[in-house]
A = this chain, B = another copy of it.
Amino acid sequence: MRSTIKDVATAAGVSVKTVSRVLNKERYVRPDTRLRVERAVEALNFRPSIAARTLGGRRSFQVALLCDNPNPYFVYAMQEGVRARCAVENVRMIAQPYSMAGDDLLDLVGRLIDETRPDGLILTPPITDCLPVLEFLTEQQMPFVRISPGTNLALSSSVFIDNKGAAHAMTAKLIAMGHRRIAFIVGDSGYASSNQRFTGYVEALNEAGVGLDLELVRQGRFDFRSGAQAAAELLSLPRPPTAIFAGSDDMAAGALATAHDRGIVVPDDLSIAGFDDSDVASIVWPPLTTVRQPMRDLAYAAADLLFKLGDGVERRELPFELILRQSAAPPRPAEDS
């Protein structure tokens, strides 16, 4: 038989209100009273009903995580990060893994809010840039934090990774290694990070005096297949690139597979660089040179920000890390160096 707050009150010899005070860590409870209550809670293994707390009070002890992303690794990392931070706060994460919600999205979010009344929400790309949703949340006065939004940055507090800086650093590194024909596979244009990464690539080329050759730039869709396809096109060029920098981990994996299929040895004959968008590419693809993007940490930081949210709009930026897995010997010198 499950116990209620009343049982705890009886066991501890206090009123239910006092138990409530202890549960919510309110002040004005004598230390010994608090101790008695805590003991009773422990003894009865009491866990308050979220439903009752939601109905009676101003909080629901629930935070919603909105994902509409086709990358399982990404979704997993987001959920894990948010869940970990919520656990510290004794708050439940309501993970909403939509898949291509599209037009329904606004209705789904509306239902979510009316039905569960979360204390706040965390949005992940590409929902971060869905203006109707942002406006709706603002209108409903729901606190929310966005992860790596690309637009309307003033609309909420957000956490970021330095996409441009990371792509810049990686490109510069490839140039320093002797590469001159560095291809870039752009991610889905629906994601702001795609452009930011591409921008970093372009800037680094400019700074090094290496011309931007649009023949070496291909559009991908963030997934394995589009990366493989883009790499196939690039490697079929009359003058193929000596390095391929993919705008996402899945596309890098695709590029690597294509290279393998063609008998090209990575990294000796071709350098492949990518991003580690989900703390996993590093395991799967040892030959890659990657930018580690601590996605889990980012999600953790987002939840942290949500709990500490003040009135103003705050931004937090997380550092990236270059992980070089190139062979010691520099790759085949670029033809025009």
**Cβ-based interface call for A313 (8 A):** no
Q: What is the distance, in angstroms, from A24's C-beta to the closest C-beta of chain B? A: 15
Q: Which residues of chain B are near A320, meaning CB under 8 Å? A: none
**CB atoms of A114 and B75 under 8 A apart:** no
Q: What is the distance, in angstroms, from A111's C-beta to the closest C-beta of chain B? A: 5
Q: Which residues of chain B are near A214, meaning CB under 8 Å? A: none
Q: In the bound complex, what is the Cα–Cα distance between A95 and B47 (angstroms)?
A: 19
**CB atoms of A111 and B224 under 8 A apart:** no
Q: In the bound complex, what is the Cα–Cα distance between A52 and B77 (angstroms)?
A: 32
Q: Which residues of chain B are near A45, meaning CB under 8 Å? A: 110
A80's partner among B97, B110, B114, B116 (CB-CB below 8 A) is: B97
**Cβ-based interface call for A79 (8 A):** yes
**Cβ-based interface call for A36 (8 A):** no
Q: In the bound complex, what is the Cα–Cα distance between A94 and B224 (angstroms)?
A: 30
Q: Mark A323-336, 1 if CB is under 8 A from B, else 0.
A: 00000000000000
Q: What is the distance, in angstroms, from A301's C-beta to the closest C-beta of chain B? A: 18
**Cβ-based interface call for A27 (8 A):** no
Q: What is the distance, in angstroms, from A223's C-beta to the closest C-beta of chain B? A: 8
**CB atoms of A224 and B2 under 8 A apart:** no
**CB atoms of B76 and A114 under 8 A apart:** no
Q: Which residues of chain B are near A83, meaning CB under 8 Å? A: 97
Q: What is the distance, in angstroms, from A82's C-beta to the closest C-beta of chain B? A: 10
**CB atoms of B283 and A47 under 8 A apart:** no
**Cβ-based interface call for A99 (8 A):** yes
A51's partner among B48, B50, B94, B280 (CB-CB below 8 A) is: B50
What 5 A-B pairs come out closest when comparing CB atoms?
A72-B76, A51-B54, A47-B114, A51-B51, A72-B72
| Contacts beyond the supplied A50-B115, A225-B283, A260-B260: 6 A-B pairs with Cβ under 8 Å | A47-B114, A49-B115, A51-B51, A51-B116, A72-B77, A72-B278
18 A-B pairs (CB sep. < 8 Å) = A49-B54, A49-B114, A49-B115, A49-B117, A50-B116, A51-B52, A51-B116, A55-B55, A72-B72, A72-B77, A73-B73, A75-B76, A76-B97, A79-B95, A92-B115, A92-B116, A95-B97, A224-B284
